[in-house]
Amino acid sequence: MTIDPDIQAAFDMQAVGVTDRRRNFGLAERKQALSLLSDVIKNNEAAIVAALTEDFGKPETETILTEILPVLQEIKHARRHLRGWMRPSRVAPTLATFGTSARVRPEARGVCLIIAPWNYPFSLAIGPLVSCLAAGNAAIIKPSEMTPATSALIARLLAETFSLDLVAVVEGGLKTSQALLSLSFDHIFFTGSPAVGKIVMSAAAKTLASVTLELGGKSPTIIGPGANLKRAADWIVFGKFANAGQTCIAPDHLFVHVSVKETFTRLLRERIAKAYAEGSISSDLSRIVNKHHADRLAGLLTDATAKGAHVTQQEIRDGTRFKPVLIEAITPEMAIDHEEIFGPILPIMAYDDLEDVIMKINARPKPLSLYVFDNDRKRIDQVIEATSSGSVGVNLTLIQFIHNRLPFGGVNNSGLGSAHGHYGFCAFSHERAVMTNHFSALPLVFAPYTPGVKRIIGIIRRVLE
């Protein structure tokens, strides 16, 4: 594959600098790089807000809450804990290794590629960069081509802040991504769909680059009979309609206990009306990112209604703006039942027996998140123990993302590896084992294997086995 000379030059420059960074990109320099990143974000808040408004009409408050604050918080947390994260950890010797000492040194992987999606185009490009720099690596970032204003802004801001041998931004779509994936990166951090995640992992297999895959899927949500329905409605409307539902961990669909379904659906409608004023489409709702995705969502609705589903609104779309839609009577033949919705459409399904819901969840790929609303500890534990997902939210949605001390990531189809805080630092680090001999007795059993040596081995076996 022919590679754009600028991409090759940036990669070569970063690769050549690996040894130098090992020696000279220590705690102080990494903290300084993180400060520079924090300053450039704080000084350009208005430009970031404007880029996201241009790209998909994201309301200023949401941009501050979901794109800027999480990254600034991530930087602050990394700066505060970096010394401890970087410190090699001593490990005690085992019986067999008596007479040695050992430690685990987290080391920079080298040159890393960060591929970002469009739905949180700022925070999902810059958040991984925080962990990447904290771990002492250089990075090439490829933002999403679907949000061109944010992509151009990221490229400009990072070019003004860092030298190319530390951080480079390469803008572009599929071809650019493919060209980048043909280079021998030490680590690839990809956020996007499971389908492209598989392409990234096969590309990484060619060079045996390590990967972190932050993927998506359908995050199911259970409303149990003991849930505080009003509070559940608040959290679900926030989690589902922030960013117009274009959130990897948004509740995708609801399983509502039959005893509370009517009341809960009414409360949901009232909460939606309060948040996003009925009538015209509220400016507190983002647009759908482009016509392709707006058509995809409209297609999901047409398909579902043609097959017997009921929607709550008739007039749901104005160009790329959608009103929140509640949809009922979903059946397995409908595409909305198995495709990730990724928009402001919320299917509601009634259930009677929690075991049926658990069976349905387990029949699907493991979700990125799973939400349970209930007040009954036993039922909540029943769900957690019998299922698997990247994360679980109990009586909340989305905010597990902003907890710096929690790993953020999926499992199998929803991802591989973790991001955020110390977990993000580890994703971009190699845990190198260093072992030093002081007075190990093991040379006593080296060849030649005389009867004396065999006797010693016999004694060792009796102690160790």
Three-state DSSP class for 349? strand
Residue whose token pair is 């959290």: 235
Smallest gap from residue 392 Cβ to ligand NAD (A): 15
**Distance from CA of residue 338 to its chain's centroid?**
21
Residue whose token pair is 């591989």: 416
How many other C-beta atoms can be found within 10 angstroms of the C-beta atom of residue 449? 10
Stretch that binds ligand NAD, among 37-45, 66-74, 189-197, 230-238 (CB under 6 A): 189-197
Q: Which two tokens stand for residue 69?
A: 């604050």
Identify which of residues 271 and 420 has a Cβ nearer to ligand NAD in the complex. 420
Q: Which two tokens stand for residue 132?
A: 């990447």
The residues with which 138 forms a beta bridge, in sequence order, are: 111
Residue 286 touching ligand NAD (CB under 6 A): no
Q: Pattern of binders to ligand NAD over 405-424, x per CB under 6 A?
A: -----x----x---------
Residue 193 touching ligand NAD (CB under 6 A): yes
Give the whole-angstrom CA distance, residue 234 versus residue 158.
Answer: 37
Say whether the peptide bond before residue 448 is cis (omega within 30 degrees of 0).
Answer: yes
Buried b (16+ CB within 10 A) or exposed e, 149-172: bbbebbbebbeebbebbbbbbbeb
Of these, 14, 66, 131, 177, which contacts ligand NAD (CB under 6 A)? 177
Q: How many residues bind ligand NAD (CB under 6 A)?
A: 28
Residue whose token pair is 């929140």: 324
Query: Among 112, 132, 248, 426, which one carries the catalytic annotation?
Result: 248
Residue 117 touching ligand NAD (CB under 6 A): yes
Smallest gap from residue 85 Cβ to ligand NAD (A): 21
Of these, 55, 74, 214, 234, which contacts ligand NAD (CB under 6 A)? 214
Residue 216 touching ligand NAD (CB under 6 A): yes
Q: Is 248 among the catalytic positions?
A: yes
Smallest gap from residue 442 Cβ to ligand NAD (A): 46
Residue 374 touching ligand NAD (CB under 6 A): no
E-assigned strand segments in 281-419: 310-311, 317-318, 321-322, 325-328, 345-351, 369-373, 391-394, 415-416
Which alpha helices (DSSP H) does 57-107 contain, by range?
A: 60-63, 69-86
Residue 369 touching ligand NAD (CB under 6 A): no
Tell me the CA distances in angstroms from 403 to 77, 121, 196, 327, one per residue in order: 10, 20, 27, 32
Residue 199 touching ligand NAD (CB under 6 A): yes
Query: Among 62, 67, 74, 214, which one carries the catalytic annotation?
Result: 214
Residue 207 touching ligand NAD (CB under 6 A): no
The residues with which 90 forms a beta bridge, in sequence order, are: 103
How many other C-beta atoms can be found within 10 angstroms of the C-beta atom of residue 455? 10
Stretch that binds ligand NAD, among 29-37, 90-98, 116-124, 370-378 (CB under 6 A): 116-124
Give the whole-angstrom CA distance, residue 122 versus residue 389.
Answer: 25
Residue 70 touching ligand NAD (CB under 6 A): no
Of these, 3, 196, 386, 392, which contacts ligand NAD (CB under 6 A)? 196
CA atoms within a 13 Å half-sphere pointing along the CA-CB vector of 69:
11
Give the whole-angstrom CA distance, residue 260 versus residue 237.
Answer: 17
Residue 115 touching ligand NAD (CB under 6 A): yes
Smallest gap from residue 273 Cβ to ligand NAD (A): 27
Three-state DSSP class for 136? coil
Of all residues in the shown chain, the one whose CB is closest to ligand NAD is: 216
Stretch that binds ligand NAD, among 18-26, 48-56, 193-201, 305-313 (CB under 6 A): 193-201
Residue 145 touching ligand NAD (CB under 6 A): yes
Smallest gap from residue 211 Cβ to ligand NAD (A): 13
What backbone torsions phi and psi does residue 220 show, to the nearest 5 degrees?
-80, 155
Identify which of residues 62 and 328 has a Cβ nearer to ligand NAD in the complex. 62
Q: Which two tokens stand for residue 264?
A: 């809960």
Residue 320 touching ligand NAD (CB under 6 A): no
CB 233 within 8 A of CB 385: no
Smallest gap from residue 311 Cβ to ligand NAD (A): 23
Identify which of residues 115 and 346 has a Cβ nearer to ligand NAD in the complex. 115
Give the whole-angstrom CA distance, residue 351 versus residue 328.
Answer: 12
Of these, 178, 210, 282, 305, which contacts ligand NAD (CB under 6 A)? 178
Tell me the CA distances in angstroms from 39 to 36, 43, 63, 147, 161, one per residue in order: 5, 6, 17, 23, 9
Residue 192 touching ligand NAD (CB under 6 A): yes
Smallest gap from residue 140 Cβ to ligand NAD (A): 12
Q: Is 60 among the catalytic positions?
A: no
Residue 400 touching ligand NAD (CB under 6 A): no
Of these, 14, 144, 265, 369, which contacts ligand NAD (CB under 6 A)? 144
Smallest gap from residue 341 Cβ to ligand NAD (A): 10
Q: What is the DSSP letter of 250?
A: S
**Residues annotated as part of the active site:** 214, 248
Binding-site ranges for ligand NAD (CB under 6 A): 115-119, 124, 142, 144-145, 173-174, 177-178, 181, 191-193, 196, 199, 214-216, 248, 340, 342, 368, 410, 415
